[in-house]
Amino acid sequence: MSLRIGVDLVPLSRAQALLEPDNQLVLARMLHVDEISECMRGGHLDPSSVAGRLAVKEAVFKLFRCRDAVVPWQSIHVEGLPGTWPVVYLDGAAAKLARAAGIRSEISVSISHDGAYAVAVAATTME
Amino acid sequence: MAQQTTASINEVKDWVLAKHTERQDIGADEDLIETRLVDSLSFVEFIFVIEQASGTEIDMDTLDLDDLRTLAAIEKRFFAG
């Protein structure tokens, strides 16, 4: 049994850029509707929450250790209301990449925000 | 057709240059992904720009990364008449 981890850092400025009106169609390809609604704070999209979810998806993607694929944003699902532990589940392309990488166990994630950055770690155990 | 095609790939080039003001130009065969001119966070927007400029819809799950690594490859795959 071995441990595999992935980490990712997202500047809030890059999440903020995705919240611009011109980029809403782009963001909708990276986060699901329910993920976007979980990022709402006071009726507005919170860049910190968006950055955290993007960082989680990238950190999980790094567990797959594949070079010639792009982050399957829509098939890595992040759930987690404020004050709860984030939970990740995979389907579609992400589940396929995980199987190909030999990932059979649960993937645990953790997010942190401080100042201008969000950071996320993803971990799983390998047979 | 060549003039219209060149104009379209330049929309993609201009988008990359706008994100990297330290650069004045991008070689047609420069690997946009290896050089991180396009990284995973900007990749979806990059695809969106190519779709808008080429009028082609791109399926993220089946795309071939090599079709997107260089301006020359993008032009050949998405802008050839």
pLDDT tens digits, one per residue of A12-41? 999 999 999 989 999 999 999 999 999 998
Q: Give me chain A's average pLDDT, please.
A: 94
Taking the Cβ of residue A119 and every Cβ of chain B, the question of whether any pair is shorter than 8 Å is answered with no
Percent of all residues in chain B with a pLDDT value above 90, rounded to a whole number: 81
> Count of domains in chain A?
1
All residues of chain B having their beta carbon less than 8 Å from the beta carbon of residue A71 are 40, 43
3-state secondary structure of A116: coil
- State how far the Cα of A82 lies from the Cα of A64, in Å rounded to an integer: 27
Lookup: tokens for A43: 């009726």
Indicate whether B79 pLDDT > 50. yes
- B58 CB burial (10 A radius; 0-12, 13-18, 19+): middle
pTM of the model: 0.91
Inter-residue contact B40 to A70 (CB < 8 Å): yes
Mean pLDDT score of chain B, rounded to an integer? 90
CB-based contact A47:A27 (threshold 8 Å): no
- The pLDDT value given to residue A55: 98
CB of A63 closer than 8 Å to CB of A6: yes
Q: Which of B41, B47, B63 sits opposite A14 (nearest CB)?
A: B41
- Domain of residue B67, CATH code: 1.10.1200.10
Over the stretch A71-126, which tens digit does the pLDDT of each residue have?
999 999 999 877 789 999 999 999 999 999 999 999 999 999 999 999 999 999 99
Q: Are the Cβ atoms of A93 and B44 closer than 8 angstroms? A: no
Banded pLDDT at B6 (limits 50, 70, 90): low
Structure tokens at A39: 């990022």
Q: Total structural domains in chain B? A: 1
What domain range is A84 assigned to? 2-126
Query: Contact A71/A122 with Cβ under 8 angstroms?
Result: no
Q: Containing domain of residue B53, as a range?
A: 2-79
Residue A69, min C-alpha distance to chain B (Å): 7
